[in-house]
Structure 1
Amino acid sequence: MSSQIFLVPFFVFLTPILFFLLIKQRKTLADQAKRLPPGPTKLPLIGNLHQLGDFPHRSFQHLSDKHGPLMFLQLGSIPTLVISSAGMAREIFKTHDRIFSGRPVLFAAKKFSYNNSTMSFAPYGEYWREIRKLVILEILSARRVQTFQIVREEEVALMIDSVAVSFNPVNLSELTLLLTNNIVCRAAFGKIYDGGQGGVYDIIRESQELLGGFCIADFFPWMGWLNKFNGLETRLEKNFRKLDELYENVIEEHLDPTRPEPEHEDLVDVLLRLQKDSNQAIALDNEKIKAVLTDMFFAGTDTSSTILVWIMAELIRNPSVMQRAQDEVREAVKGKAKVEESDLQKLMYLKLVVKEGFRLHPPVPLLLPRETSESCTIEGYHIPAKTRVFVNARSIGRNPEYWKNPNEFQPERFLDSSIDFRGQHFELLPFGAGRRGCPGINFAVQIVELALANLLLRFDWELPHGLRREDLDMEEAFGLTVHKKLPLCLVAKPL
């Protein structure tokens, strides 16, 4: 839903205090004398909010095409910077990364992150450094990710079996989300929790919607009290309680002295062990354990599922690419019924397909917003402290300055290219870069590559009868993670 819909009743309700807000928003003489980056003309009170449509990454790209890759907006009372080129991203992440490593306090995120205790939403500082160190060394280390190989392989095999016995067409949007949810559940909790109505599956989906939705308090922080009247706070509290209760039950089960000794530690086991370690730099109470688990679910389920769906949609639209990827997979594992993780290193073209998918369809196209901790100067422009910063990874990934035929799905473009998505090449930033880059790349990519390889090995894929590949709807759905709006339903033909 676009911001304009929310602003109509908002204006009517707040008329008596418009004068106060206008005074609040006026710049000081000193600020007026400083040269801000270019941007569109703003309106009183709302600034440039009226120029945001249902898809902010598209709106930002449209505005940046006119005003440049370093663009300044006023979104409500929030000064905002939009980065839309690899050059500007390099300037941010290499030269000024410390200054740009803050996080804004967002209404829904503050709740779900246990008062900004997650690595993703914690303010830049000592706590964030310590929790990030803990996650990288104990939760997402290469060794730890490897211990969950059997979980990934078993869950992918179950997904493939379910496709084999399903009635066509197969809803890959639902199937891949269930896959990633089950993998993260087993890695985090040691088992799969009820995926039915009210279970972890639905709780996470509702949480993602709330995180990605429009909230007036994120643009007018002193207006947070309005969420008591528009239903958002009630919906948020209800869903958060369900999530918190789930975590409480899981922790209680893991603390039960009669619980059988697991063959491998799951992530709750690891966190509870660290909780007892007096040498830890931060006190890892239960709320911080829950915060770490929240990061795993929010960052590790929806995003991996989303990119799988976009890649499969692109392969359907590009049958020659599909055929080449299938030929590679089937030749590499000839005589085997499934692709194992040890086979993935041989699938070089499939890796290019995944890379091209991330370029065209970064699951979080604006990454997570940042906030400047102090003022600085970039390209001669003054960037104020407490400026919210969006890096438009989707716009950068489709910039014709770096990519030939940028809107076409062409994995071959990476054949003679060293560009990768791990944060060192600023033309391709689906996982971000710098201090705030996503440390879960290995965990996510292993799931995507393994699932994709097995889908291509076991089945030939077609659109349902009567649909042409040119007719496949590629419209996006609004949210923090940008899904395909209509579920991807394909016909699977076993070999």
Structure 2
Amino acid sequence: MDQTSLTKVLNLLAPPFLLLLPLLFFILKCVSSPSSKNQSLPPGPKPWPIIGNILHFGKKPHISTANFAKTHGPLISLKLGKQLLIVGSSKRAATEILKSHDRLLSARYVFKAALFENHVLDRISIVWATQCSDGWKSLRALCRNELFSAKAIESQAVLREKKMGEMVGFIGRREGEVVGIGEVVLAIVFNTIANLLFSVDLIGLEDDGATTGLKSLMWRMMKLGATPNIADFYPILGGIDPQGLKRKMAVCVNQMFDIWGKYINERREKHVHDGPRSDFLDVFLANGFEDLQINWLALELLSAGTDTTATTVEWAIAELLKNKEVLKKVSEEIKRETDTNSLKESHVSQLPYLNACVKETLRLHPPVPFLIPRRALETCKVMDYTIPRDSEVIVNVWAVGRDPWLWEDPLSFKPERFLGSDLDFKGQDFEFLPFGAGRRICPGLPMAAKQVHLIIATLLYYFDWSLPNGEDPAMLDMSEKFGITLQKEQPLLVVPRRRI
């Protein structure tokens, strides 16, 4: 849901839909199960007739639902038209949703703007497969073994270090100039993953227009994905795509497919199935994947791994600039533990304070404020409340990371809270879940962790940073822009000065 979502929703409910919805509401109410009224649903704000709690969401629903939790409790229910939404905003709620009832709540809630029917998503998707079927498990295992295993991650170190060298060179040539750090990191990470998939750079780092265009395209896709869809609230409208979201999403997806489509065609024409595998495209082809499967998996891997990493790095640098003492400590640690004239990935494991800074960034600014929605396979009980079958269930990890019952001084950036602590983001500590937990935990977590730590260490090792025009970092705007990822509302613009 973007910054103008409230206006959009109001416009959507204007004629002709306003004439249609009362009739629709009456019909659906007549055919709904009478027993549903007696279910002990989680509490929540009182829904309005017909539209339910749609307007209660506001422009930043991660904040509005966190505020509702303060009033109604850590597990709330909201009616979005006819769709029931359950939101967990505490450690206990997250534990019950993602661990105690992981199997029953492991299905994926798929939005009406999805380009493919559920049975197609079950065949081609890791993220949006509707159930954790055997096919989904096999596909996920293939990606884990070939891309995200410890052995695979280690073998990718040379590539990551090469891309860090390109980033340092690019920024170094712009010493003293204003640099959009998020766009630079996005391009570097996109090309890193593209090389793992296709052995090519898909975007020219020096082509500012291409980088801006790519980021614009990715954000447009995420904006469309986060835009409230009247067809999700009233499923009977799903077949007519009333807002054109499905059509617009198809345009964006096809534009993304076009970026790497020629490489798939070229490789398929000359592929030798029993030859050595140089990248993940070879793995796809050796396993008999069709073009749609390859395109969709590439899209998921690139979009999930690129924007989340770039956003996390941008937030981290912003917090470090704003907190001078923290920046001084982490910079001194990097200098002290690095005894050569270049930074290697092997140095990063020797930087506990940097690790704490990354964790603190992920606590305050999780890449996704809501974990991707789940769907209840069966009716179950969570925190003694009834969760009806087919309910949409989400965890507000942004709220959990700022819970004053879990974190002392939760709104302050204090990496020291993680020093000497076993708390980690690998899905076992339910007060700290930036990558999720359970069956649906982010499979790319090991790669993302390596990337984020290495990029931040590289930026701090080679450069000193300041804000343009002598601006005071203490006054840096830290406002958030809500979407599938949680970005800075004002992109971070910084001026680099070479240290080495």
| TM-score where L is the length of structure 1 | 0.92
Of 120, 138, 161, the match for 2:127? 120
2:226 is equivalent to residue 212 of structure 1: yes
Q: What corresponds to 1:227 in structure 2?
A: 241
User: 1:58 Cα deviation (Å)?
Assistant: 0.9
Instruction: State the match for 1:357 in structure 2.
Output: 361
Match of 2:41 in 1: 36
Equivalence for 1:413: 417
SS of 2:458's equivalent in the other structure is helix
- Residue in 2 that maps onto 1:268: 281
Q: 2:96·2:383 contact (CA, 8 Å) conserved in 1?
A: no
Q: Find the counterpart in structure 1 of residue 391 from structure 2.
A: 387
The verdict on how the C-alpha distance between 1:42 and 1:258 changes in structure 2, with shifts beyond 3 A counting, is closer
- In the other structure, the counterpart of 1:83 is 88
Contact kept, 8 Å, 1:60 with 1:82, in 2: the verdict is yes
Question: What is the aligned partner in structure 2 of residue 426 from structure 1?
Answer: 430
Q: Hey, what's the Cα distance between the residues in 1 that align with 2:181 and 2:75?
A: 38
Q: Distance in 2 between matches of 1:452 and 1:16?
A: 53
Q: Deviations over 1:59-110 (max 9, x none)?
A: 1111111111111111121111000000111112221110110111213444
Q: Is the 8 A contact 2:367 2:486 kept in 1?
A: yes
Deviations 1:226-251 (A, max 9, x none): 535x4434322222222333453221
Q: 1:347 to 1:109 in 2, by over 3 A?
A: farther
CA contact (8 A) 2:365 2:398 kept: yes
Q: Which residue is 1:241 aligned to?
A: 254
Contact 2:187 2:203 in 1 (8 A): no
Cα deviation code 1:404-432 (max 9, x no counterpart) = 00000000001132111110000000000
1:278-326 Cα distance to aligned partner (Å, 9 max, x none): xxxxxx3332222221221121000000000000000001011001101
User: Structure 1: where are the runs of 5+ without partners?
Assistant: 276-283
SS in 1 for 2:411: coil
Distance 1:483 1:30 in 2: 42
Give the match for residue 193 of structure 2: 184
AA aligned opposite 1:122: A
1:75 and 1:17 map into 2 onto residues whose CA distance is: 13
The answer to whether the 8 A contact 1:85-1:395 is kept is yes
Task: Name the counterpart of 1:313.
Answer: 318
Residue 197 of structure 1 and its aligned partner are, at CA, apart by: 4.5
Instruction: Tell which deviates more after alignment, 392-401 or 462-471.
Output: 462-471
Q: Percent identity?
A: 34
Distance in 2 separating the partners of 1:190 and 1:180: 14
- For the 8 Å contact 2:181–2:493, the answer to whether it is kept is yes
Secondary structure of the structure 1 residue equivalent to 2:488: coil
Whether the aligned pair in 1 keeps the contact of 2:114 and 2:246 (CA below 8 Å) is: no
Task: Tell me which residue corresponds to 2:402.
Answer: 398
- Residues 1:99 and 2:112 are matched in the alignment: no
- The letter for the 1-side match of 2:456 is L
Task: State which of 45, 60, 66 in structure 1 corresponds to 2:65.
Answer: 60
* 3-state secondary structure, aligned to 2:265: helix
Q: Alpha carbons of 1:264 and 1:206: their partners in 2 closer, same or farther (altered >3 Å)?
A: farther
Matched, 1:173 2:192: no
Between the aligned partners of 2:24 and 2:457, the Cα distance in structure 1 is 59
Contact map agreement 1:25 1:45 (CA 8 A) in 2: no
SS in 2 for 1:390: strand
Q: Quick one: which amino acid aligns to residue 158 of structure 1?
A: E
User: Which of 34-43 and 396-405 deviates more?
Assistant: 34-43
- Cα drift, residue 53 of structure 1: 1.1
Q: Does 1:47 align with 2:52?
A: yes
1:419 and 1:298, CA in 2 relative to 1: closer, same or farther beyond 3 A?
Answer: same
Q: 1:272 to 1:263 in 2, by over 3 A?
A: closer
Amino acid at match of 1:145: I
RMSD: 2.3
Corresponding residue for residue 445 of structure 1:
449
For the 8 Å contact 2:478–2:488, the answer to whether it is kept is yes
Residue 263 of structure 1 deviates from its aligned partner by 8.6
Aligned equivalents of 2:158 and 2:38: distance in 1? 61
Give the Cα–Cα distance (whole angstroms) in 2 for the partners of residues 146 and 25 of structure 1. 56
> May I ask how many residue pairs the two structures share in their alignment?
484
Distance change in 2, residues 1:325/1:30 (3 Å)? same
Runs of at least 5 residues in structure 2 that lack an aligned partner in the other structure: none
Counterpart check, 1:160 vs 2:168: yes
Change (3 A) 1:18 1:350: same
